[in-house]
Amino acid sequence: MDFLNAIILLLNYTIIPALSYGSQLALGAIFVTLIYGVLRFANFATGDMMSFGTMFAVLLTFYFQSLGINFGFLPTALLTIPFAVIMMILYMLSIDKFVFSYYRIKKSPPVVLAMVSVGVMFVTQAIIRIIIGPFDRRFLDGEKFILKATEFKEMTGLNEGLTIKSTQAITIVVTVIVVSIMFWFLNKTKTGTSMRAYSDNEDLALLSGIDPKKVVLLTWVIAGILATVGGVLYGLDKSYKPFVYFNNMLPIFAAAIVGGIGNPLGAFLGGYVVAFGEIFITYAYKKFFTYILPESLEPNSLMQLLSTDYKFAVSFSLLVIVLLFRPSGIFKGLRL
């Protein structure tokens, strides 16, 4: 019985939150990696682009709510995602046309493009703050919990409760759907293969008649979908605040590099590595050990490796370690 309690405890406080947070990071990390692989630069506007897409979802949610449209027990924001994605893709394509394409045609070094993306970051941030303001906004509606701790306790008779928030379940399900469609597209369709070919070797791809314009367009479309979905899921789970999105760029970068930048599957797994790392290292295991150890061995400290203040620092340290020992990522060469 105690053993079961211990497992439920871990499930409730570490594994489920890490899975949903990891999914959000994974979507962002694939976005980073895709831009890096195909367009060949580190996009410092990542966080703000995700924020931009989410902003439309938030605004549309409020609009739908005022019209009285809702999505039953699911959050209205899910309904708005397609519209937000379209706005996002339009924004990205116009940025690409007016800003990035010039440097791509000139074949500027990646550093220059990274600097340009810093400029894009400033502009995007300004537009977001001018339109929606810097404030914290919650836009979650519908059912909040799938499983409540008290219900679970009644059902099983255990001491520990298991809570599953609906946002957590939605995050995981939506991520699985989006990511599997994306991998299917990249690996099984002809256009996806041409994208990968372009990413692996641009010159050879051009020689074999792949249209670079189409590849770039497709990359931005996929990136737009990933950025918006990732951003909306994060916003539903926590809340929407532009500044937080900018900061989220950092663990997302960590996830992309840990997984091996340029490799979508690596980035996907990297998101979970970072999330599990952050949560496992900063969780206080005291209660867990009280359940599994005999009473005489019970710990009297919190059994916490690092305080939760250092949550972000954990993912960055993970990145430093990976950079030191396996600069090309821990999932190097992994392919579907």
Partner 1 sequence: MKQYLNVVTAYMIMFTLIILVGILQSWSQALSILNYCLISAVMTIGANIQWGYAGLINFGIMGYTALGGLAVVLVSVAPVPEAWKAGGINMIGSLGVVVAMIVSIRYVLKKIQKSKKRNYLIAGIIVIGLLLIRLLAGPGIESIEAVDPAKTGFLGGLGMPILFSWIVGAFFAGGLAYIIGKIALGLRADYLAIATLLIAEIVVSIIKHEDWLARGVKNVIGLKRPVPYEIDLQTSPWFISLVEKFNSGKLKVIDTLSERQDVLKQLVIDASSVYVKLCMAGLFLTVVIILLIITQKALYSPWGRKMRAIRDNEEAASAMGKNVVKEHLLIFILGSAVVGLAGAMMVTNDGLFTPGSYRPMRYTFVIWVMVIVGGTGNNFGAILGGFVVWFLWVEAAPIALFLINFFTAHLPETNALKVHLIESASYFRFLMIGIGVLLIMRYRPQGILPEKIIKQ
Is position 90 an interface residue for partner 1 (rule: CB under 8 A)? no
Single out the residue of 6, 121, 215, 273 in contact with partner 1 (rule: CB under 8 A).
Answer: 121
Q: What 3-state class would DSSP assign to 72?
A: coil
Q: What is the DSSP string of 258-327?
A: HT-TT-HHHHHHHHHHHHHHHHHHHSB-HHHHHHHS-GGG---S--BSS-GGGHHHHHHHHHHHHHHH-T
Q: Which stretch binds partner 1 (CB under 8 A): 6-14, 200-208, 215-223, 318-326?
A: 318-326
Residue 161 CA, chain-centre distance (Å), reads 27
| Number of chain positions touching partner 1 (CB under 8 A) | 45
Is position 130 an interface residue for partner 1 (rule: CB under 8 A)? yes
Single out the residue of 91, 198, 253, 285 in contact with partner 1 (rule: CB under 8 A).
Answer: 253
Identity of residue 318: L
Pull the structure tokens for residue 279.
């949560």
Taking CB atoms within 8 Å and a gap of at least 24, the contacts of 64-68 are 65/141
Pull the structure tokens for residue 149.
């701790």
Single out the residue of 65, 73, 97, 110 in contact with partner 1 (rule: CB under 8 A).
Answer: 110
Single out the residue of 4, 118, 181, 336 in contact with partner 1 (rule: CB under 8 A).
Answer: 118
Pull the structure tokens for residue 135.
């404030």
Is position 109 an interface residue for partner 1 (rule: CB under 8 A)? yes
Is position 114 an interface residue for partner 1 (rule: CB under 8 A)? yes
Identity of residue 17: P
Is position 120 an interface residue for partner 1 (rule: CB under 8 A)? yes
Helix (H) or strand (E) holding 165: strand 164-165
CB of 156 to partner 1, least distance (A): 37
Is position 317 an interface residue for partner 1 (rule: CB under 8 A)? yes
Is position 176 an interface residue for partner 1 (rule: CB under 8 A)? no
Output 177 or 313, the one with its CB closest to partner 1. Answer: 313
CB of 118 to partner 1, least distance (A): 6
Q: For tokens 């995981």, what's the residue?
A: 172
Subset of residues 134 to 163 that bind partner 1, contact rule: CB under 8 A: 134
How far is residue 118 from each of residues 43, 68, 191, 241, 252, measured CA to CA in Å? 8, 40, 30, 20, 16
Subset of residues 275 to 314 that bind partner 1, contact rule: CB under 8 A: 307, 309-310, 312-313
Measured at the alpha carbon of residue 85, what is the angle toward residues 205 and 41, in degrees to the nearest 5?
40
Binding site for partner 1 (CB under 8 A): 36, 41-42, 44, 99, 102, 109-112, 114-116, 118-127, 129-130, 133-134, 246, 250, 253-254, 257, 261, 307, 309-310, 312-313, 316-317, 319-320, 323-324, 327
